[in-house]
Structure 1
């Protein structure tokens, strides 16, 4: 993670190499898989949800009922996205349909928001059992950036961000947090749309071209690239370097 301080990056398709001026005027971090060690917990919760849903006779459409792939399906359809978007994307990939429902549907409702709420309940149950840890390399980088007076923001689809950060001992680590709650309250579309990253940059008062984005999800890398951010760093913790590079990461660290 310290390589962010001395990155050399080339814009995709430009053929030009340029030396960055680390650590940029601001740095925006994703949370799950970048700051906190929660990506695997999310993936397991999604698998529990979808493996159950795929066997439910209430599914309509022309569903394929092969189980959720905890690696490929997680990264392709749900990683980095808002929960409802992830539910819709995965079910569409299987040719399955459930009612659109109402935004406030609870975990017992047979609807897209209901399934999203059920997944969140499974995730929080696992967190209560396992606890939360931060990645030491990210924590060290956050300390270095803050000591240098570089503003830092968190941009995550999670609606539990503040609770999880506090549990990981990082409750005051970020100058700005744009999370799922913020997105819902301000009608911001989720990743891969760049709106959440752009909102964080505006609140920090730094132009995107002077801001670095650090992400481990393809959807997040795509959002950083589409938003015109000066450096988009991919974090590969599971052998997905090529996918992150294809999505538009300037460099991939792992």
Structure 2
């Protein structure tokens, strides 16, 4: 972690792989989706190309051509239903997340979520997490914004909570998300649940950790000059 003090007013969290340890179950869901539909999907390669992108963008990548919104909706419904069934049985947060977010709020920081996930996965995640307090805003991937690495989702999250992008820290587990934070003029923390610190590196990345317990134990929040 870098030792510099940053004036920060908000933390914006990606959801899958960042708030919840869900990425292995997304991978399993794509394997099962392929099996059911007779598709030979190179899942690791596919996820490297799509993690952080919207459902419509993922469907287009999967089919290797333009798709209709109806096709995208059907692909998304099938795959995400499989995902929720699989992960629901073993749901878990990234270690220490809820306690960390609660501590951040107690220090006067605003909390928002910026995810490529759709409203169904957002509802599934939030109902299982039961965050207290709840995020001030959640921006999803089915709201018509371009997915990551474009910064639109994070910028909209910052707009909704009235935070300047330069005073936001994005928490991300994927390279596209880290890049989206950079393009949005935001600082970032790399949450290394699915990628290595070197894969999530950048001049704007102020910490790289395995989970939120590691952040808590290093007094990360105390290094931020929060604007209450």
Q: Report TM bin, short chain.
A: 0.7 to 0.9
Superposed CA offset, 1:172-196 (max 9, x none): 4311111234x2xxx3212111111
Q: 1:248 to 1:40 in 2, by over 3 A?
A: farther
TM-score, normalised on structure 1?
0.73
> Conserved in 2, the CA contact under 8 Å of 1:198 and 1:227?
yes
How far apart in 2 are the matches of 1:91 and 1:243? Answer: 27
* Residue 175 (structure 1) aligns with: 136
229, 233, 241: which one aligns with 2:197: 241
* Residue 6 (structure 2) aligns with: 21
* Residue 37 (structure 1) aligns with: 21
RMSD: 2.4
Superposed CA offset, 1:4-26 (max 9, x none): xxx427xxxxxxxxx1326x111
Shift of 1:206: 1.2
* Residue 112 (structure 2) aligns with: 153
* Residue 73 (structure 1) aligns with: 46
How many pairs were matched up?
Answer: 208
Q: 1:48 to 1:27 in 2, by over 3 A?
A: same
* Residue 89 (structure 1) aligns with: 61
Show the 5 A alignment for 1:118-129.
118-128=78-88
Larger Rg: 1
How far apart in 1 are the matches of 2:113 and 2:171? Answer: 10
Unaligned runs of at least 5 residues, structure 1: 1-6, 10-18, 57-64, 106-110
TM-score, normalised on structure 2?
0.80
> Conserved in 2, the CA contact under 8 Å of 1:162 and 1:171?
no
> Conserved in 1, the CA contact under 8 Å of 2:59 and 2:72?
yes
